[in-house]
Structure 1
């Protein structure tokens, strides 16, 4: 498992490198994304299970007082989510639901991420998910495919700027292939997707879950 996590970290580092190069090419004055800016660290973001494991391990490495603080915030979020899906159970996977039940969460949710520190910085920055690393700049492939146009309104950037292009199609293909290998090793089945939210990722005790059991459960159904 360690080697798979290391491979995934390589992909995350590649995204970081692209972001740094992009900021350099358009000029730092045009990009608001920097340490202490936490405007995008609000609401619920779904992440893959491999990212959840990275977050969980990074959380476990925090000092106890910070771990406890983060866990309390994550548990409050879980209480809210269980009001929506009363039968949702650990390991808090979302894939038993129709996509529109969890991929389009309220845009006006301003609840801070439980991993956001009081200083506006991520407590586990090195382990943050890919969505956090991509947010702010347009993710457009060299062939023109737009994978996300979630350009931060604080950034003065033209989405069509060719200096921002990157082979995202290949990046995401490699991500899926790596995740299938991860899922096969963890569950015995080569799932292409197993997702949860950032707050619930903190609450998954990976060692206590029966990953060989039934995972894709619809939490809207009676338990």
Structure 2
């Protein structure tokens, strides 16, 4: 039987298939490809499900690379703790208000993601969060509902992608499935189903998810 995390990885593979289809149809209009890291900066919240998948990939890195990234992660956490002294293991954001989270993210808007190597490549690309996979393109459901109306300004110059049927996908279904998996995973972690249980990328590398579940 597939674990919740494996089911989520399968969902992300479907997201990737959609994105690759968009690239096939609009290769000349989409700059967002593996190796582009222009938007990979600043703090942004991710789900604990995304965090656990990142940690799965992190655990496969060499011991030396893990040590390097842990050091960077701890430095980022220290910056956060300067504003949020109580931000400790297991690094859950949801005790803070949306305004507090937005204020914190705005204070660190230009720092490159610690997962980028010296060439700007993501060290955990295959394990990256859903938001990283969706970013750069507008999100229009097959029913016509616009779920995200913005897109990277480097993409679709001179064209309105909101009018392109080839970009439409089953986003409502995908986000519904993400929610179900997220609630199942938070129940594994905390014993309670919660609609939101979020963290930051740097924090995810330091969380002991196995210990979290056992405790």
When normalised by structure 1's length, the TM-score is: 0.87
C-alpha spacing 1:191/1:17, structure 2 compared with 1 (3 Å):
same
The 5 A counterparts of 1:114-133 are 114-133=114-133
Q: Which moved more, 1:7-16 or 1:143-152?
A: 143-152
Which of 150, 157, 160 lines up with 1:158 in the alignment?
A: 160
* Cα RMSD (Å): 2.0
The 5 A counterparts of 1:27-176 are 28-103=27-102, 105-106=105-106, 109-156=109-156, 158-160=160-162, 161-176=164-179
Q: Which residue of 2 aligns with 1:194?
A: 197
Please give the alpha-carbon distance, in whole angstroms, between the structure 1 residues aligned to 2:187 and 2:130: 21
Deviations 1:99-149 (A, max 9, x none): 222256228712111111112111111111000000011112123333223
Are the counterparts in 2 of residues 74 and 199 from structure 1 also a CA contact under 8 Å?
yes
Are the counterparts in 1 of residues 189 and 213 from structure 2 also a CA contact under 8 Å?
no
SS in 1 for 2:182: helix
SS in 2 for 1:203: coil
SS in 2 for 1:147: strand
Q: Which residue of 1 aligns with 2:182?
A: 179
When normalised by structure 2's length, the TM-score is: 0.90
Are the counterparts in 1 of residues 41 and 110 from structure 2 also a CA contact under 8 Å?
yes
Runs of 4+ aligned structure 1 residues displaced above 4 Å come to none
C-alpha spacing 1:103/1:141, structure 2 compared with 1 (3 Å):
farther
Unaligned residue ranges in structure 1 (runs of 5+): 213-223
